[in-house]
Structure 1
Amino acid sequence: MTPQKKATIISSSVAAILTLIKLVLGVLSGSVAVLASAIDSILDMFVSIFNYFAILNSEKPADKNFNYGRGKIEALALVIEGTIITISGLFLLYQAIKKAILNETSQYLDISIYVMIVSLIITIILVLYLNYVAKKTNSMVIKADALHYKTDVLSNIAVLVSLVLVQFTNIEIFDVIIGVCIAFYIIYCSFELIKKGILVLLDASLDSNLVLKIEDIIKNSDRVNAYHLLKTREVSNQTFVEVHLVFDCLITLMEAHKISDKIEREIKVLDKDRDWIINIHMDPYDDFLINDCKI
């Protein structure tokens, strides 16, 4: 089993346990903040399960029908995950406003505080583990899962503060205010996930600094007169680079091939954690203007 799959199974299991505990307490206590955290954990569980199947399919090798593999499933998972999180944020906002209007009160605050402390500790451990796996595999889905649970850490802290304030002041508006803040924060974080997924689906180029480093490698290579049509994109843990290199027309194919291989090796050293897929087209003259290329 790959580290990515193992990570999604662990995060799903943790989310399931936290969901059960928080949901029971949220209903019994009447706390919007606790209920908000419970609903968020429910979504965490389903998102982690969905991520498992996304990774399962994205790891399938390229075949006759999917020549470039199924890596974009992970980007699609980000968009779906972000959308689900947005909906959860809107629901939490509704619950907070509803409590404010109906003047509902919170109960079972003592046990709720203890549960949220335990939940916070468990979530922090999970985030540290997911960050480790994300760094090791460069998986977009695991990175998104880690970011998602980071928001849970902040949410749990906010809920804990809310419960403590209500416990010692008996002022329910603290629960409402913190519930609204959590809702807006969740919606904000979900926007980043959706944006990242859409950019990958649209084949956005790599970070500009990384592209500049690739260009420097090409420019400093011996016997490369020029280059054009440099294209980059990333899908899942794969990073694609395409470029046309212009050599002197008298160079042998063997020499041009050796220089191209050297350029590939130097590019791959830029980030050894990436799975680089580099395609270099060798030109005997600069046909960029002839083909009326605009890139």
Structure 2
Amino acid sequence: MTDNNEKPDLNKHGGENGKLMRSATYASVTVAIILICIKLMAYLSTNSVAILSTLVDSLLDMVASVINLVAVRHALVPADHDHRFGHGKAEALAGLFQSAIIAGSGVFLVFQASERLLNPKALDSSNMGIAVMVVSIVLTLFLVTYQRYVIRKTRSVAISADSLHYVGDVLINGSVIIALVLGGVFHWVYADGLFAIGIALFLLFSSWKIIRASFSDLMDEELDDGERTRIIDLVKAHPGVLGIHDLRTRRSGQQVFIQMHLDMDGSMSLHEAHKISDDVEQQLMTEFPEAEAIIHQDPIHEAAPSP
């Protein structure tokens, strides 16, 4: 393992990432509260279940964002005596809780939309509803843009899931505008219920994606093939490494854990083998700043060439 004085200083890196992740969660909660207020006024004015569905979705956004805020703060707590691998899986646990809430709301909206299809009603004040949806889209796009910036810097699982949900909100709000135009302008009374069902199905689909991502983290799924290939190529590029085997990887929140066995010339000294391992770990930490590597050295005794 690399000596502490040879490792890159990741405390500053982690601190900057933590500030970005926290600011993204605060922004998410703030936007959700604003959207709840304006959508509530729009629903009371229009009596549209499509707007009701987006209001429910914004309520869930706030709940999910608050959960993310708490999960991110806990996940950023450094490893301690009782949690030697850190607290990163708090993000995945929060994701499972979010997915349960989102799935429940999707089922609720299916029932509400079905009732509206059976008993269609004309929409009122569609212009106000459209204006509210446009404002919602603009606010959400600003939030998603900032979240994408944070994701590029931190690769946070929690922020990625939250951003995906808000991207869905943009699509949902756009579909509500269409429903309001069809119902309020063209007097197609079934548009409201049909689009509400579409939104409910989208919520259920989003819930399933969050469940998959959370289980991937909780079940210690390997990094994707591209990242594993990068690790193997980087390790093999070192002239002192003859081969690599038993590569194991997993992700836990921000943290990535890498384990491997390196094949080295069995005739070299322990000091030389340790130095090569340090060099490899240093390169891995440069390529994957959030990683922690555990390297085992295996001596290889090559047969002497034939005379």
Q: TM-score by structure 2 length?
A: 0.88
Match of 2:252 in 1: 235
Match of 1:289 in 2: none
Of 257-266 and 147-156, the range deviating more from structure 2: 257-266
Does the Cα contact within 8 Å between 2:35 and 2:58 map onto a contact in 1? yes
Matched, 1:167 2:184: yes
Match of 2:138 in 1: 121
1:166-207 CA distance string (max 9 Å, x none): 121111111111111111122112211110010100000001
Q: How does 1:74-85 map to 2 (within 5 A)?
A: 74-85=91-102
Does the Cα contact within 8 Å between 2:122 and 2:184 map onto a contact in 1? no
Does the Cα contact within 8 Å between 1:23 and 1:39 map onto a contact in 2? no
1:228-270 CA distance string (max 9 Å, x none): 2210011111111001112222211221122222222333444
Amino acid at match of 1:44: D
User: Which of residues 277, 284, 290 in structure 1 aligns to 2:299?
Assistant: 284
Match of 2:117 in 1: 100
1:98-157 CA distance string (max 9 Å, x none): 101122332221211111111111111111111111111111111111111000000010
Q: TM-score by structure 1 length?
A: 0.91
Q: Which stretches in structure 1 are left out of the alignment for 5+ residues?
A: 287-295
Secondary structure class of the residue paired with 2:101:
helix
- Aligned-CA RMSD value: 1.7
Q: Return the offset for 1:224.
A: 2.8
Select the structure with the greater relative contact order (CA < 8 A; seq sep ≥ 6). Answer: 2
User: Which of residues 138, 144, 156 in structure 1 aligns to 2:173?
Assistant: 156
Q: How far apart, in 1, do the equivalents of 2:57 and 2:214 lie?
A: 21
Q: How far apart, in 2, do the equivalents of 1:63 and 1:224 lie?
A: 33
Q: How far apart, in 1, do the equivalents of 2:269 and 2:56 lie?
A: 65
Q: How does 1:24-103 map to 2 (within 5 A)?
A: 24-103=41-120
Secondary structure class of the residue paired with 1:191:
helix
Match of 2:198 in 1: 181
Match of 1:222 in 2: 239
Identity percentage of aligned residues: 36
Amino acid at match of 1:99: R
Of 243-252 and 230-239, the range deviating more from structure 2: 243-252
Q: How far apart, in 2, do the equivalents of 1:23 and 1:39 lie?
A: 9
Q: Return the offset for 1:285.
A: 4.8
Q: How far apart, in 1, do the equivalents of 2:60 and 2:167 lie?
A: 14
Secondary structure class of the residue paired with 1:170:
coil
Matched, 1:196 2:213: yes
Matched, 1:141 2:174: no
Does the Cα contact within 8 Å between 1:80 and 1:194 map onto a contact in 2? no
Q: How many residues align?
A: 284
1:258-289 CA distance string (max 9 Å, x none): 22222223334445xx4111111112359xxx
Q: How far apart, in 1, do the equivalents of 2:91 and 2:198 lie?
A: 29
Q: Return the offset for 1:221.
A: 3.1
Does the Cα contact within 8 Å between 1:82 and 1:193 map onto a contact in 2? yes
Of 98-107 and 169-178, the range deviating more from structure 2: 98-107
Secondary structure class of the residue paired with 1:243:
strand
Q: Return the offset for 1:84.
A: 1.6
1:65-109 CA distance string (max 9 Å, x none): 111111000111122222222222222211110101122332221
Q: Return the offset for 1:60.
A: 0.8
Q: How does 1:13-28 map to 2 (within 5 A)?
A: 13-28=30-45
Secondary structure class of the residue paired with 2:242:
strand
Amino acid at match of 1:276: A
Q: Return the offset for 1:9.
A: 1.1
